[in-house]
Amino acid sequence: QSLEAELERVTGQFQETRDRMRHLMRSNAEKFRQVWIVNEEEAKALIREALDAARIIQVQQLGIPWEEPHFWFLENVGPLGGRREKKEAMEVATELLEGG
């Protein structure tokens, strides 16, 4: 009986720890995304300033027609590579064992 009680206690602690880890992973992922977006906006603003300077130099100083280049990454919002999150091996194994 004492071993069963100990097993229940340890199993409960494991599940609680796992739940905390999942919560931390989600909140860290969201914080990362928010910081990424702020930095991305700042980088895009700097790129636009550089393009404006290039346009002014090309049109006013050199007298050459300006055609703004198309940069696909200026249309992107958020981390590159889609929204799929990488999972650790233990997390995948746990989900598989739980039938998920």
From residue 37, alpha-carbon distances to 53, 56, 78 in Å are 24, 29, 5
pLDDT band for 55, please (50, 70, 90 cuts): very high
Query: Domain count of the chain?
Result: 1
Q: Identify the weakest region by mean pLDDT among 13-17, 26-30, 82-86, 89-93.
A: 82-86
> Is the pLDDT higher at 82 or at 80?
80
Whether the pLDDT of residue 77 is over 60: the answer is: yes
Give the global pTM. 0.56
**Domain housing 36:** 3-98
From residue 35, alpha-carbon distances to 30, 57, 60, 82 in Å are 9, 33, 38, 17
Q: What is the mean pLDDT of residues 57-72?
A: 89
In the prediction, which pLDDT does 53 show? 94
